[in-house]
Amino acid sequence: MRKRIATLLLAAFSLTGCLKDKFIALNFLSLSLDVDLKEGGYVGQIDTVVLIGKTSQWEEGEVRQHGFVLSSAQAEPRLGKNDAIYAWPQLDRDKPIFQKTLHRNALPEAIYYIRAYAVYLLAGEERTVYSETDTLNLNLQVFIRGIHPLCEQGLARVEAVFTNRALNETYRNYGVVFSENPQEFPALPDSSLRITNGFPDPFEFSAFLSGLEPGRVYFARAVVQRADESFLYSNIFSFQIEFNDSNGDGINDNCDEDDDGDGVPDLEDPEPYNRFICGRDDDFDGCDDCAGSGFVDPNNDGIDTDGDGLCDAGDPDDDNDRVLDPDDIAPTYKFICGKDDDHDGCDDCSGSGYYDPAHDAPDTDQDGICDAGDNCRTVPNATQEDTDGDGLGDACDFDDDNDGVNDDADPEPLNPFVCGQDADGDGCDDCSIGVDGFGPAPDATPANDGC
C-alpha cells in the first residue's frame, strides 16, 4: 500500500513539472495617450494638436507597427474603422515615446475620439493593443455664460463665449438676440463687428439688452455669422428681470451698496437685507448698533429696560433689580425677582423694585408683613396668629375659634368648646361637645351638649 502511494506522489510531481515547463508568464505591452494643444501666434488660439503615445511594461516581444487612430464616429476607434490613421513601422524599446503633430486647420469641425495603438509579436503571436480613448472637441461652440440685470431699470448685460474656431477664418458679425417666444427670434442686426485671426480663442463678448420689463420671462441666444453668411447659434437662455428695492431708495438691490439702508455696506453687513442687524458694536455693550434704530446708532441700539445705557442683550440685569437675569424669574420687571429670603410669602423685590426683603411691599397695614403673605392685610398683626387655621388672622377674624359664635359674644373666643350659650337651659354650654372643633361647622348643639 505504501509503495502505491509513493508512485502516485511521484506521478503528481512529474505532472507539475510538465505544466511548469509548458506555461510561461508573459508581460504584455501597455500604452498611454496624451493630447497636447499648442497655441499659435495669438494667445488662446489653438494652432496645432500634438498626439503623444508612450509604452510601458514592455519587456518582451517586438513592435512591428505603432501610431494613432482617430474617428469622429467610433467612440473606441480601431484599425480599419477610423477616419484617420497615423502609422509608423518598428518601435525601439529604448525609445518608448512617439508623437504626431496635426495642424488645427487640417482637421474639419467635429468631435474626435483618439487612441494610440501598437501591433507587436509576442510568443509567436501578433497582438494589437490600444490606449484609453481621449476626446478632442473641435466643433465650433457658441454659448451664453450668464445674464446680469444692470442698475438702470430695463437693462441687462449678456456674457457669451465663442470657441474652437478655425484659424485664418473671419466671422463677419456676432451678437445676442432675445424674444419672449423661444420659437421666434429676431434676425441678428447688421454691424461692423468682426472676429479675425488676431482675436484669442475662446473669444468672449458682451451684449446689452434694453427695453426689458420686470417680471416678464425672456429668452436669449448668442449668434455668430460666418463669412459665407451662415449662422452659428448658442443654447437658448431663459431669464427674468426683477427690480427689487429693499430699502425703498429707488436703487435696484443689484446695484445698491447698502440694500437695507442701515449705513453699513452689504460687503460688511452679515445680514444685508435686515436693517436691524449690521454686525457693529462700537460701544461694546453686547448689542448690535443697528438693533434699535434700524441704522448705526450705538446710543439707541435696542431695548434698554432699566435705562442704564446697556441694551438688554448685553445687560446682565435688565430690570436693575439687583438680581442677575439668569436668577430672575421676570428679568424685565423689577418688582418680581423670584426671591423670598425672609419667607414671608412676598417677592423680595415687590416693595422697592429691587432686592429688599425688609420692604417687600405692599404692606397695607404696615405690620411688616407684605400683603401677599399677610393673613390680615388691613389690620396690623405682626405675629400672624390664626387660631382656627382658616386663613384669617385672629386680628381680623370675627370668630377666632370657628365655633359659630362671634368673638364679641363668645366668653372664650379662642376655645371652640366654650361659646357661652345654653339654649336648652340644661346648664351645659351648647358648644361643650361641639361638631368639628376649629372646623367650619358651628359647634353650638343644644341637643348634644353633654347634659
Sequence letter at residue 93: R
Q: List the domain range (segments joined by +) for residue 117.
A: 30-137
* Residue 156 and residue 211 in one domain: yes
* Residue 96 and residue 160 in one domain: no
* Residue 81 and residue 122 in one domain: yes
* Residue 147 and residue 132 in one domain: no
* Residue 152 and residue 234 in one domain: yes
pLDDT score for 98: 93
Instruction: Check if the beta carbon of residue 349 is closer than 8 Å to that of residue 339.
Output: yes
E strand map for 236-334: 237-240
Per-residue cell: 303: 431695548
The Cα–Cα gap between 329 and 338 comes to 6
Q: What is the CATH number of the domain that holds 230?
A: 2.60.40.10
Tell whether 379 is covered by a domain.
Answer: no
pLDDT score for 45: 54
Residue finishing a domain among 137, 160, 181: 137
* Residue 158 and residue 119 in one domain: no
Rounded-to-5 percentages of helix, strand, coil across the chain: 10, 25, 65
Per-residue cell: 22: 509548458
Tell whether 130 is covered by a domain.
Answer: yes
* Residue 431 and residue 447 in one domain: yes
* Residue 36 and residue 123 in one domain: yes
The Cα–Cα gap between 133 and 108 comes to 19
Tell whether 371 is covered by a domain.
Answer: no
pLDDT along the chain (451 residues), means of 10: 29 32 51 80 66 88 91 90 84 89 83 92 88 89 88 87 78 93 92 82 89 91 91 91 84 88 95 92 86 87 82 86 94 87 85 86 79 86 88 93 92 93 90 83 83 79
Report phi then psi at 371, rounded to 5: -55, -35
Residue finishing a domain among 122, 137, 152: 137
* Residue 50 and residue 98 in one domain: yes
> Looking at the 3D structure of the chain, how many domains does it have?
3
pLDDT score for 378: 93
pLDDT score for 253: 85
Tell whether 17 is covered by a domain.
Answer: no
Residue finishing a domain among 221, 240, 259: 240
* Residue 207 and residue 234 in one domain: yes
Residue 76 CB neighbour total at 10 angstroms: 12
Tell whether 278 is covered by a domain.
Answer: no
pLDDT score for 334: 87
pLDDT score for 19: 31
* Residue 35 and residue 115 in one domain: yes
* Residue 111 and residue 51 in one domain: yes
Tell whether 264 is covered by a domain.
Answer: no
Tell whether 268 is covered by a domain.
Answer: no
Tell whether 10 is covered by a domain.
Answer: no
DSSP state of 18: H
